[in-house]
């Protein structure tokens, strides 16, 4: 990878998501050589991907150049690549652009969509974990409507304007709300020759409530907000297949639709080469101890979504969200410096600051550790927390400006098909390649 | 195309560029049925494409949803499609999504890059007429640098960081200036392990001055600005070929480069089906009379870049720029309404408001009909003219915010490879070489 040799121990970080960026910042100018690897040249603020998908924000507003983050860090390198495998015996990362020796390895590869092994759903449904995927969803939604105006057969037209979202976690709920608002405020006006009332937004959940990682109060309120917006909610329904036209379920229920957005599950974006016993089956996460040290290795660590730290409070690992990722990144940054200086490391303790989800204009739910609230104040809290979590002043300012504009004008001017999305059922390429 | 029948005569407009949007606005609620066709669902503000290509602006900031422009117009339709041919006998537009009868046809298809018949240049060079093309250029520039840090062979590395721009019109000059500023303010910091001084920006011009449609004063000043920024200018040099690695010219001069951006010529984006005598050879424009009526047809009109109205002052037609396009669109809008009401039409007269180009921070040249100025004041004039020409308040505000930020911080945070551009010559690098 053409990294110069250094007198300092080399730390290789794989992934520049919340966890990777957090530790990168902590390792700044700490007498270490650091090499940060990512398959994108930007950090993605994933919680706002759904707004990119629905035309409320431009992709650039929630992305930040990784090289800019580390611009003034000494002996600090970024390489744009995908990691293929880890050679733990020779302490090497094997990537598309060559091998790299590490003294310490930090795996922060995050998570990817989990289709639970169903290849047909994977082929036909849309996923929303990256910016290209969000832009594909945006293109597909708009292409559906452009196509719908041309179609004379009603059943075929309904197929195009029927949206099925599988999974009612924060992503599914926020996307459903945003689609419902698009329907009301924009699509109605943009497509006067379509009967937009026929547009359906179906949210399918295998469990018995939406937002099932939040409080029951939040679930109930979010559900009511969604229903008020016209979203159809299907609880206790498990999707069994989607062939590109029809969603089948574990009941008699079927949905004819050209668009399924799958947010029903995530799994660790694991890297090959680790010991089998350090992996948690099915969820594909990496088992770590309280120092985020990968089980069975001295000098390999995992943080963020990919790491599963089994504690009393979290027997299956921490929730796969930004907060644990950032906190683990920050702590491991400090711990690594201590470890190298032979000082003791500190055990990770998750500081749960609460969780929140927005459903639409003036509608959000917030669970603080001891307090729950919802409605317009929750919505403002949601906005400002997200705004201030964005990296960079310009992104904050542009997002703020867009939100103010969208709020006042009830608009989303990002409804642009910049790169047409060719639906997978027509060709064979995957959404990331376009 | 599923357009309802109407009691009003139907006007079909092909293209929603400056000319198409200008006439569309004029035909609003005029007892006509209007169908606007475009292959994108957005209008592109082409003068700022170079800023998208160099990461200064997001694509969404210079694009505007076409459906939003016509949202409240009565009996007004938009269809997303490419036109294949015009059947002038049966008065039909033949498109990818079906045929459409017209009573009046307005061709506003604009222009496309002219490679003067050289297929090899066309295959290997980059063009910058659309947003996807600008995003491809952005990706390619950044990918070149990401690759350059990996390459150990100096000649190969130089290939990647040597940029050749062919054509020194406004687009070539503005792009050269923007690249020079990126080199100084960003790439230097982003790639500390590269010797950025080795990066070359070569601007090749077949004529004897840059900006040859502007005043000689502007040309001389722009040239000096570019030289001060470190751009190498090659005048009186004609590019003869580019095989993906080497640019050959009509002299001994050759350039080894992985990136050629071709802005050396434009030609009309003509539509098939018109009489041969209504076409101007080589430039592929459509010959129109002083009412923008296509020669040989009563009810077919052409406006903007595609239209060639040969006048005493402009024996080869008006310059292919925004101003004549907008003015022709506005006038034809009024003339069409008059024509249909059997009132006389008004002949087009171009009101030349001057022209301008920006070279970089605080550097621009402005030619007014009777006055020339340059430098920081010209630069402010350039900015505000472009800002206020953008459609929509939000785009204006976001562009303004970006410019203020970029100006103060000397930055361009849009340096994101959102959709990788896979260039063919990249395959010459094997993983061993990396």
* Chain B, window 90-129: residues with a beta carbon less than 8 angstroms from a chain A beta carbon: 97-98
Query: Domain-by-domain residue ranges, chain A?
Result: 10-113+267-340, 119-264+355-433
Cβ neighbours of B146 in A, within 8 Å: 41, 79-80
Distance of alpha carbon B281 from alpha carbon B284, whole angstroms: 5
Give the one of A4, A41, A415 whose C-beta lies nearest to B65's C-beta. Answer: A415
Distance of alpha carbon A284 from alpha carbon A112, whole angstroms: 10
User: Which tokens belong to A155?
Assistant: 């059943």
Task: Find the Cα–Cα–Cα–Cα dihedral A67, A72, A73, A75, rounded to 10°.
Answer: 90
Q: What's the ipTM? A: 0.93
Pick the CATH number of B10-113+266-340 from 3.40.50.1820, 3.30.479.30, 3.40.50.1360, 3.50.50.60: 3.50.50.60
Residues 6 or more apart from B337 whose CB is under 8 A from it? Answer: B26, B27, B30, B32
Distance of alpha carbon B134 from alpha carbon A227, whole angstroms: 42
Average of per-residue pLDDT across A19-44 = 97
pLDDT given at position B421: 81
SS3 B136: helix
Residue A331, number of CB atoms within 10 A of its CB = 21
Domain B119-264+355-428 in the same topology as domain B10-113+266-340: yes
Q: Is A62 on the interface with B (CB under 8 A)?
A: no
Helical spans, DSSP H, in A345-392: 376-389
- CB under 8 A, 24+ apart: contacts of B365-368: B365/B211, B365/B214, B365/B217, B365/B218, B365/B221, B365/B222, B365/B225, B366/B218, B367/B214, B367/B215, B367/B217, B367/B218
Would the CB atoms of B67 and A190 count as touching at under 8 Å? yes
Q: How confident is the model at residue A420 (pLDDT cuts 50, 70, 90)?
A: confident
Across the A:B interface, residue pairs with CB atoms under 8 Å apart total 153
Tokens 């964005």 sit on residue: A390
Return the HEC string of A276-317.
HHHEECCCCEEEECCCCEECCCCCEEECHHHEEECCCCCCCC
Fill in the DSSP letter of residue B211.
S
Pick the CATH number of A10-113+267-340 from 3.40.50.700, 2.40.50.220, 3.50.50.60, 3.40.50.10470: 3.50.50.60
Average of per-residue pLDDT across A138-155 = 93
Could you give the angle at which helices B170-182 and B216-228 cross, rounded to 10 degrees?
20
Fill in the DSSP letter of residue B116.
T
By C-alpha distance, the chain B residue nearest A70 is: B190
Residues recorded for chain B? 434
Q: Which CATH class is domain A119-264+355-433?
A: alpha beta
* Structure confidence by residue, pLDDT tens digits, A170-183: 999 999 999 999 99
A425 pLDDT higher than 90: no
Pairing, β A10-14 against β A33-38: parallel
Residue B17 and residue B39 in contact, taking contact as beta carbons nearer than 8 Å: no
Distance of alpha carbon B231 from alpha carbon A303, whole angstroms: 46
Which parts of chain B register pLDDT below 50?
424-434
Distance of alpha carbon A66 from alpha carbon A37, whole angstroms: 10
Mutation to test the A interface, candidates B80, B98, B396, B401, most A Cβ within 10 Å: B80
Would the CB atoms of B395 and A413 count as touching at under 8 Å? yes
Cβ neighbours of B419 in A, within 8 Å: 132, 135, 419, 434
* Structure confidence by residue, pLDDT tens digits, A342-373: 999 999 999 999 999 999 999 999 999 999 99
Choose among B89, B29, B22: nearest CA to B299: B89
* Chain B, window 319-338: residues with a beta carbon less than 8 angstroms from a chain A beta carbon: none
Give the one of A79, A146, A190 whose C-beta lies nearest to B71's C-beta. Answer: A190
Would the CB atoms of A41 and B142 count as touching at under 8 Å? yes
pLDDT given at position A84: 96
User: In CATH, what is the architecture of B119-264+355-428?
Assistant: 3-Layer(bba) Sandwich (3.50)
Q: Is B2 on the interface with A (CB under 8 A)?
A: yes
Number of H helices, E strands in chain A: 12, 25
Residue B140 and residue B262 in contact, taking contact as beta carbons nearer than 8 Å: no
Return the HEC string of B293-356.
EECCCCCEEECHHHEEECCCCCCCCCCCCHHHHHHHHHHHHHHHHHHHCCCCCCCCCCCCCCEE
Please report the DSSP string for B373-411 in residue order: EESHHHHHHHHHHHHHHSSSHHHHHHHHHHHHHHHHHT-
Helical spans, DSSP H, in B14-81: 18-26, 49-53, 66-69
The mean pLDDT value of chain A amounts to: 94
Cβ neighbours of A149 in B, within 8 Å: 2, 79
Q: Is A84 on the interface with B (CB under 8 A)?
A: no
A427 pLDDT higher than 60: no
* Chain A, window 31-60: residues with a beta carbon less than 8 angstroms from a chain B beta carbon: 40-42, 58-60
By C-alpha distance, the chain A residue nearest B404 is: A394
pLDDT given at position A423: 57
Residue B174, number of CB atoms within 10 A of its CB = 27
Distance of alpha carbon B254 from alpha carbon B256, whole angstroms: 7
Q: Is B415 on the interface with A (CB under 8 A)?
A: yes
Strand ranges, E, within B150-222: 162-166, 200-204
User: What backbone torsions phi and psi does residue B16 show, to the nearest 5 degrees?
Assistant: -120, 45
pLDDT given at position B420: 83
Distance of alpha carbon B146 from alpha carbon B190, whole angstroms: 10
Cβ neighbours of B195 in A, within 8 Å: none
* Structure confidence by residue, pLDDT tens digits, A198-211: 999 999 999 999 99
Q: Is A149 on the interface with B (CB under 8 A)?
A: yes
A426 pLDDT higher than 50: no
Would the CB atoms of A97 and B150 count as touching at under 8 Å? yes
Burial (CB < 10 A; 0-12, 13-18, 19+), residue B216, is: exposed
pLDDT given at position B423: 58
Residue A174 and residue A379 in contact, taking contact as beta carbons nearer than 8 Å: no
Burial B100-110 (b: 16+ CB within 10 A, else e): bebebbbbbbb
Catalytic residues of B: 174
Choose among A242, A161, A241, A145: nearest CA to A202: A161
Please report the DSSP string for A136-186 in residue order: HHHHHHHHHHHHHTT---HHHHHHHTEEEEE--SHHHHHHHHHHHHHIIII
Residue B173 and residue B222 in contact, taking contact as beta carbons nearer than 8 Å: yes
What is the percent of chain B with per-residue pLDDT over 90, rounded to a whole number?
Answer: 93
Residue B86 and residue B65 in contact, taking contact as beta carbons nearer than 8 Å: no
| CA distance, residue B386 to nearest chain A CA (Å) | 19
* Chain A, window 182-201: residues with a beta carbon less than 8 angstroms from a chain B beta carbon: 189-191, 193
SS3 B220: helix
User: Which tokens belong to A296?
Assistant: 């069975």
By C-alpha distance, the chain A residue nearest B136 is: A419
Mutation to test the A interface, candidates B397, B413, B420, most A Cβ within 10 Å: B413
Q: How confident is the model at residue A216 (pLDDT cuts 50, 70, 90)?
A: very high
Distance of alpha carbon B392 from alpha carbon A128, whole angstroms: 29
């Amino acid at each position: 990878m053409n990294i110069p040799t250094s007198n300092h121990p080399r730390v290789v970080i794989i992934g520049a998501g919340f966890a990777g960026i957090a530790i990168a910042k902590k390792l700044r100018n700490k007498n270490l050589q650091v090499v940060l690897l990512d398959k994108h040249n930007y950090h993605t603020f994933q919680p706002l991907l759904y707004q990119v998908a629905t035309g409320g924000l431009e992709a650039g507003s929630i992305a930040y150049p990784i090289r800019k983050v580390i611009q003034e860090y000494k002996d600090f390198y970024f390489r744009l690549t995908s990691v293929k495998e880890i050679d733990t015996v020779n302490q090497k990362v094997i990537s598309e652009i060559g091998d790299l020796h590490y003294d310490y390895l930090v795996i922060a590869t995050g998570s990817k969509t989990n289709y639970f092994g169903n290849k047909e759903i994977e082929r036909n449904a849309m996923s929303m974990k990256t910016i290209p995927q969000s832009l594909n969803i945006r293109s597909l939604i708009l292409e559906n409507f452009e196509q719908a105006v041309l179609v004379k057969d009603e059943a075929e037209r309904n197929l195009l304007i029927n949206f099925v979202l599988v999974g009612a976690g924060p992503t599914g709920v926020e996307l459903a709300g945003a689609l419902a608002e698009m329907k009301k405020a924009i699509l109605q006006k943009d497509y006067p020759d379509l009967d937009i009332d026929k547009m359906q937004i179906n949210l399918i959940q295998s469990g018995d409530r939406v937002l099932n990682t939040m409080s029951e109060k939040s679930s109930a309120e979010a559900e009511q907000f969604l229903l008020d917006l016209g979203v159809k909610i299907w609880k206790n329904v498990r999707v069994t297949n989607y062939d590109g036209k029809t969603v089948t379920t574990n009941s008699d229920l079927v949905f004819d639709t050209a668009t399924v957005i799958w947010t029903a599950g995530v799994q660790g974006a694991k890297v090959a080469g680790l010991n089998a016993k350090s992996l948690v089956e099915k969820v594909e996460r990496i088992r770590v101890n309280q120092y985020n040290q990968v089980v069975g290795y001295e000098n390999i660590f995992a943080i963020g979504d990919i790491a599963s730290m089994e504690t009393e409070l979290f027997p299956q690992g921490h929730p796969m969200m930004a907060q644990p990722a950032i906190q683990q990144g920050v702590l491991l940054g400090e711990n690594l410096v201590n470890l190298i200086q032979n000082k003791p490391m500190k055990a990770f303790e998750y500081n749960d600051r609460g969780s929140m989800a927005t459903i639409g204009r003036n509608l959000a739910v917030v669970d603080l550790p001891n307090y729950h609230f919802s409605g317009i104040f929750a919505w403002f809290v949601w906005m400002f927390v997200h705004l201030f979590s964005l990296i960079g002043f310009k992104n904050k300012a542009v997002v703020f400006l867009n939100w103010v504009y969208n709020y006042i004008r009830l608009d989303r001017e990002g409804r642009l098909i910049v790169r047409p999305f060719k639906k997978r059922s027509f060709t064979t390429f995957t959404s990331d390649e376009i």
